[in-house]
Homo-oligomer: A and B are copies of this chain.
Amino acid sequence: MPVFTAKQLKNLSVGVFKAAGASDYEAEVVSQHLVNANLAGHDSHGVIRISPYVSMIKVGYKPYGYVSKIVPGAQIEIVNETETTALMDGHWGFGQVIAGKAMELAIEKAKRHGVGAVGVFHCNHIGRLGEYSMMAVKEDLIGLAVCNSGRLVAPFGGIERVLSTNPIAVAIPAGKERDFLLDMATSVHAEGKVRVWQSRGEKLPDGWIIDKEGAPSNDPEDLYAGGAILPMGGDVGYKGFGLAMIVDILGGALTGHGCTSGKEYIGGNGTFMMAIRIDCFMDLDKFKERVDELVRNVKNSRKARGVDEILIPGEPEENTREERLKKGILVSDKTWEEIKETAKGLGVSAEELAK
């Protein structure tokens, strides 16, 4: 399996997207986002997406039965706006470009008016959600991002795919400690995790999925044969289910993108973002001191047997990032072959671009 530096992968990605018709700006934003996901260890949202995205530009892509297309150069339109809120029509451009603009606007509104909330519709796959919440943290704000997507998850008590994995990402700045970032699916796991188990040929742990008849299953293939992922929580799965409904409503109903199960939904991510200005409530340094104190109280508390360190949300990703910046990013042979093929189809050479 080839290993690349972040810079090499970024150059590769920029070159391919430009050859596929993306503007310099679009290629830059999308590529930086994908490489950041690889650096964080979330390879399912990294350069593995280059080929599917190119295919979405060229012919459309049918992951869940919808034909999603990416429109390079799409103009983002603000269709509703107040001091604190905005609704954006992404016109089916690159998701990362649209969602990035949405969080930039939420941040601007929060800085001026204390809170900013922006909804987005007609938006393709926005990638790793936590990236957007962290944009707010870089400006010393609290950041929230949620989005819906295609049908994968059963309601609590149900056996049919009605919801998506509907993730929530909240980021909070710390002082001396690392910034906090919770970026989680409201289902037991994201679909990518099942795929990892599938690719390893391993059985899934109990409680992740059901088969198409609703029976508990440990076989990843059962998900792809019409089964469903369960909401997180196990016996109290009504909690994960409830959170998933909130995400679907904020991302789908409030924006007009459509809820996952709704007749308007035709693919992509209905997205809702928010930024909150801390110093409207509290002196920023005082706030950060308290966050640091909490982080230390958690990390220094007594550990369960076999646990060396209690990790704060965001820490595993930060650790991986530091490691991959040093040692490089491993790309699977399958992904590398796909990217080479995609590049060739666009008349460019992946090997040359990744030099």
Contacts and interface: CB of A to CB of B under 8 A. Distances in A.
A302 B253 CA distance: 23
Contact of A158 (B205, B236, B298): B298
Contact of A246 (B87, B172, B282, B309): B172
B182 A311 contact: no
A252 B290 CA distance: 8
Contacts of A278: 254
Contacts of A245: 180, 182, 294, 298, 312-313
Contacts of A281: 80, 85, 87, 119, 254-255
Interface string A112-127: 0111110100000000
A134 to B, nearest CB: 15
Contacts of A298: 155, 158, 162-163, 245, 261
B303 A157 contact: yes
Interface in A28-86: 80, 82-85
A238 interface: yes
Q: How large is the interface on A (under 10, 10 to 19, 20 to 34, 35 or more residues)?
A: 35 or more
B235 A233 contact: no
Interface in A165-211: 170, 172, 180, 182, 184, 188-189, 205, 207
A330 interface: no
A87 B115 CA distance: 14
Given A114-B83, A263-B293, A294-B245, A301 B258 contact: no
Nearest to A172: B249
A236 to B, nearest CB: 6
A188 B243 CA distance: 15
A336 to B, nearest CB: 31
Contacts of A280: 80, 82, 84-85
Nearest to A276: B117
A307 interface: yes
A4 interface: no
A21 interface: no
A167 to B, nearest CB: 11
A282 B297 contact: no
A173 to B, nearest CB: 10
B158 A302 contact: yes
A297 B233 CA distance: 22
Interface of A: 80, 82-85, 87, 113-117, 119, 142, 154-160, 162-163, 170, 172, 180, 182, 184, 188-189, 205, 207, 214, 232-236, 238-239, 241-243, 245-246, 248-250, 252-256, 258-259, 261-264, 276-278, 280-282, 286-287, 290-291, 293-294, 297-298, 301-305, 307, 309-313
Q: Across the A-B interface, give the 6 residue pairs with the lowest CB-CB distance, nearest first.
A: A182-B242, A253-B290, A84-B114, A261-B297, A242-B313, A85-B280
